[in-house]
């Protein structure tokens, strides 16, 4: 649109210069009367001050009703090339030829030199010292509860250093899962230590059953109180109790000993219930009492008199009550395998009464 306007104005300008309704060309001299009236020239709304080739101002004028404009000034204002051909007395107005732009030279960026990096050897992590401040290995696992598992036998190995986050723990147990012949192999292993203290530590543990991980990275705390070591996990509420090894196991007749015995079978039937055997008050007159069930019947055992006791056997006089009624009164009886460790079985035989199997689930000193 801009070019069309320029062409139209150019035509008007040329016509103003060369014609006043021109139909023929003239040559020679002619005297003309020109009128000046401060004519103003505007191109596209912008006022133009015409100048000659030497830069001197020139003013439009009127001759015989025709307005004459300086062709060079107007042509250049319209961005035209203006050329005078003196041989033919011709004025040429042409579109300006745009110079062919030179191709921009692509300047390759200078490669920034990379700083020389001296490879640094990655420092090896400092190995924690072996935890030797507290170190225990025991086969006297009292019990593990969690679901229905009860420990029969097993071993715990643990050690920790209260001055650093360094500990080890592993427990391997043979557990009864609720039935006489229903057993599982349970293993609890420490995977990460959170904190340590003088009498134990807190960390994360894996619990496996029959070589298959049941629970992974559950938080738990190992604590030692006297001769008893315990592990309690917050999730799933696993509880493991084990007795720490003693330099010398005291004789049953020389120090107080407490047994917690779990009834397992009676007269070929499955039995359940706990029996306590306590020498703590008087080693020569232990307390023996408890209740167990077999089938649909409930039995209560009492020790009336201690006859003899050694590390392996105890004899005495017993009474048995069945469902609230006396069944056996003042009968001789024997507890065999009195020194059985945790998880093993003691055997109680009373005259006129079937043999009762009692598994050791706790020992106290």
- pLDDT tens for 20-54 read 433 445 666 777 787 777 888 787 778 878 877 77
pLDDT at residue 162, as a whole number: 82
Mean pLDDT check: name the lowest of 72-76, 143-147, 334-338: 143-147
Sheet holding 34-35, edge to edge: 34-35, 61-63, 66-68
Is pLDDT at 315 greater than 50 in this prediction?
yes
Both structure tokens of 36 = 């000046």
Contact assessment for residue 258 and residue 278, using Cβ atoms and an 8 Å cutoff: yes
Residue with the larger pLDDT of the pair 321 and 59: 321
Q: How far apart are CA 154 and CA 140, in angstroms?
A: 7
Q: What share of the chain is helix, strand, coil (3-state, %, to 5)?
A: 5, 55, 40
Q: How far apart are CA 313 and CA 224, in angstroms?
A: 31
Contact assessment for residue 74 and residue 82, using Cβ atoms and an 8 Å cutoff: no
Beta bridge partners of residue 111, listed in sequence order: none
pLDDT at residue 264, as a whole number: 92
Count of helix runs (H) and strand runs (E) in the chain: 2, 24
Mean pLDDT check: name the lowest of 8-22, 298-312, 318-332: 8-22
Mean pLDDT check: name the lowest of 175-189, 303-317, 322-336: 175-189
Q: How confident is the model at residue 360 (pLDDT cuts 50, 70, 90)?
A: confident
Gyration radius of the chain over CA positions: 58
Q: Which helix (H) or strand (E) holds 3?
A: helix 2-18
Q: How far apart are CA 284 and CA 303, in angstroms?
A: 12
Q: Which residues contact 16 (CB under 8 A, 6 or more apart)?
A: 66, 67, 68, 69
Average pLDDT rounded to a whole number, residues 47-75: 80
Residue with the larger pLDDT of the pair 291 and 75: 291
**Cα separation values, 4 from 17, 324, 330, Å:** 20, 126, 137
Q: How far apart are CA 32 and CA 63, in angstroms?
A: 7
Beta bridge partners of residue 178, listed in sequence order: none
pLDDT at residue 141, as a whole number: 63
Is pLDDT at 118 greater than 80 in this prediction?
no
pLDDT at residue 183, as a whole number: 72
Q: How far apart are CA 239 and CA 241, in angstroms?
A: 7
Longest dimension (CA), the chain: 171
Contact assessment for residue 274 and residue 263, using Cβ atoms and an 8 Å cutoff: yes
Nearest Cα neighbor of 341 from 247, 273, 245 is 245
Nearest Cα neighbor of 235 from 220, 225, 221 is 220
Average pLDDT rounded to a whole number, residues 75-96: 79
Q: Quickly count: other Cβ atoms within 10 Å of residue 255's Cβ.
A: 12
Computed over every residue of the chain, the mean pLDDT equals: 75
How are beta strands 182-197 and 140-145 bridged, if at all? unpaired
Residues above pLDDT 70, as percent of the chain: 71
Q: How far apart are CA 177 and CA 179, in angstroms?
A: 6
Q: Quickly count: other Cβ atoms within 10 Å of residue 324's Cβ.
A: 7
* pLDDT, tens digit (0-9, with 9 covering 90-100), for 177-235: 655 456 778 889 999 999 998 889 999 999 888 889 888 999 999 998 877 888 888 87
pTM over 0.75: no
Both structure tokens of 21 = 């309704």
Q: Which residues contact 8 (CB under 8 A, 6 or more apart)?
A: none
């Amino acid at each position: 649109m801009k070019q069309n306007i320029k062409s139209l104005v150019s035509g008007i300008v040329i016509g103003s210069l060369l014609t006043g309704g021109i139909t023929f060309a003239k040559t020679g001299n002619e005297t003309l009367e020109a009128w000046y009236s401060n004519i103003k020239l505007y191109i596209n709304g912008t006022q133009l001050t015409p100048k000659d080739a030497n830069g001197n101002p020139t003013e439009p004028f009127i001759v015989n009703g025709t307005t004459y404009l300086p062709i060079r000034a107007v042509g250049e204002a319209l961005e035209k090339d203006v050329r005078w051909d003196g041989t033919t007395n011709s004025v040429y107005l042409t579109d300006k030829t745009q110079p062919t732009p030179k191709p921009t030279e692509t300047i390759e960026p200078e490669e920034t030199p990379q700083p020389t990096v001296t490879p640094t050897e990655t420092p090896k992590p400092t190995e924690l010292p072996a935890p030797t401040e507290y170190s225990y290995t025991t086969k006297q696992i009292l019990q593990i509860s969690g679901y229905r598992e009860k420990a029969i036998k097993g071993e715990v190995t643990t050690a920790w250093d209260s001055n650093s986050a360094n500990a080890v723990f592993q427990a391997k147990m043979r557990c009864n899962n609720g039935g006489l012949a229903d057993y599982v192999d349970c293993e609890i292993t420490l995977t990460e230590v959170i904190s340590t203290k003088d009498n134990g530590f807190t960390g994360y543990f894996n619990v496996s059953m029959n070589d298959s991980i049941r629970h992974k990275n559950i938080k738990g705390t190992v604590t030692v109180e006297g001769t008893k070591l315990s592990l309690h996990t917050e999730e799933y509420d696993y509880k493991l109790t084990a007795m720490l090894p003693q330099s010398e196991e005291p004789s049953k007749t020389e120090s107080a000993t407490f047994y917690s015995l779990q009834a397992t079978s009676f007269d070929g039937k499955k039995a359940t219930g706990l029996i306590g055997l306590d020498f703590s008050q008087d080693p020569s007159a232990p307390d023996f009492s408890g209740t167990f069930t077999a089938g649909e019947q409930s039995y209560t055992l009492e020790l009336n008199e201690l006859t003899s006791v050694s590390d392996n056997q105890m004899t005495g006089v017993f009474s048995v009550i069945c469902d609230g009624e006396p069944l056996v009164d003042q009968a001789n009886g024997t507890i065999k395998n009195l020194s059985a460790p945790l998880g093993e079985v003691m055997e109680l035989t009373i005259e006129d009464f079937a043999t009762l199997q009692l598994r050791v689930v706790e020992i106290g000193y």
